[in-house]
Structure 1
Amino acid sequence: MFHVSTVQQFDLEKTTHLIKHAEYLRTAKRADILHRLSGSLVATLFYEPSTRTRLSFEAAVYRLGGQVISAENARENSSSKKGESLADVFRIVGAYVDAIVIRHHSAEELEEAIAYAPVPVVNAGAGSGEHPTQALLDVYTIWREIGRLENLSVAVLGDLKYGRTVHSLLRMLAMMPNISLKLYYPQSLSLPPDIAAEMERAGVRVEQAESVEQALCGADVVYQTRIQAERFESVDEACAASDYAIQAKHLSILPNHARILHPLPRVGEIDPAIDPDARAAYFRQAENGLYLRMALIDQLLKGELS
């Protein structure tokens, strides 16, 4: 059984193949692809709030001719409220559908339970662990916007400790040739040691920036993130998010070819005045998620991922 649980299941070749398939589905006539998942049923189980991830996955299935059954706010509105284990949820729901897309509050519980699923499971975000499909759509966006996935200087700002999108993206960038990182973050929200060690082993050049200006200078890609206040373990981790925000005044520092990405939602990390600038790619990034997830679900249900 092939489950999509971590970006470490993908390498540059598989990622490039997925990107090309996303481009095909993006440009194909709807009538030509509507049959691809005909007869398939996918369950979306979301134990944490979601807009882009849940709706893009569900839209992806429908656009390929499949059907969806959904449990939103499943932490409160399912048998999990009664104490049912996630392993049992997978056993039961897996008897009804062909695949499960899940967002869960515990990366550890998801990792343990996934082995009990009789159908493929896609990790749509797990606690402060990983968000593999976000990383896939992020590199898809970089490829479309910059034109390459190598020789990149990437600035990453915000919450590196709890930001699962950052964890997955950095692991994926570590597979690309000649990547350098500039990180700017609240001191209490630094990169987890295991991921920092992975960057070192992969030969990724990592520099700690001292300001937004220093982080943005010379960057090809800027990856801004939301401070994950809901995951703070203590008041000591609280910080002034405004210190890590990108303001309109910073655009003069950013190269013309650079692109600003954000997994969204934003809550003050990017000044809306930046939105009209061609370098602001975050809304295009969100749209790219539909096509990347179409490609992923299509290949997953056809047994083409391994």
Structure 2
Amino acid sequence: MESTFRTPDTSPVVVGVDGSDSARTAAMWAAREAVRRERPLHIVYGADTDGRALYLSGEAVERVRANGRGLLDDTAQAVQAEHPGLRVTTEFSRADAVTSLHRAGALHGTIVVGNRGLGGFNSLMLGSVGLDVAAGAMAPVIVVRGVDGTEETGTVLAAFRDEHDLLYARYAAREAELRKGSLRLLHVWNILQSVGQVVSMLDGIDEIAGAHAEALQAVQDAVCEEFPDLEVRADAEKSVSVAGVLVEASRHADLLVMGGRRVPGPLGIARNLGRATHSVLHHAHCPVLLIPRTGSDFGSRS
């Protein structure tokens, strides 16, 4: 399978702002990522003035433009005050936020969005813009979560499904190298689903577990061969909730890397995130890097 994205060390960093505290947090986090990767930071504000042109007066449109450009300037100044050597560009877009970020990220960018909380339990939840960006992007998307007042652990966590996830494990390894940290490959398998799929081929749970461990070991070996100086740990866990295990493991990671599980919506367009992906984006305790999968993965239900 060919990659539709560049490796982290060559990707521009694109971040969306909208005036919310979570978006500002995401912008500052994205700036640190851009410095780490030695890439410029591109800050985008999607005003949606084109979509609302029939409902806004000329004066209202001008106010939106002034407020948006003011927000871009303020964010850029805050970023450059913290990172004086960072190259920062801004973009005021007349399109909506989702379209603006998809265009800015294109095929070879890394898009960063914030987690928009509403207070109470809902503060755990990802907003609709973030979900739509993650679901429709052809570029990697990072949802910034769990970064307020937390210390770095030095660990990048990679969710592993099967041997076809070597591409995403390699991406996660590069992220760990950028952070001068370690990589943890985590494979979670649902015992009930696995039994249903392979009962005709395997005699028992031990053989099922062995098959999963063998696939995980093969990926770990390949990553270690390519990244000989990187500490790589691989774990396999049984659970009825893949998302639950990944969310708990994210408490001890600086970044969770996942291959994007997308399923077709109307007309076969992949705009819907799979169940596990959706849950992790809502509840993870660290930023989540979601990497797009190709059309052959649309049938995944995880």
TM-score range (shorter-chain normalised) is 0.3 to 0.5
TM-score for the superposition, normalised by structure 2 = 0.36
TM-score (norm 1): 0.36
Structure with bigger gyration radius: 2
Q: Which has the higher strand share?
A: 2
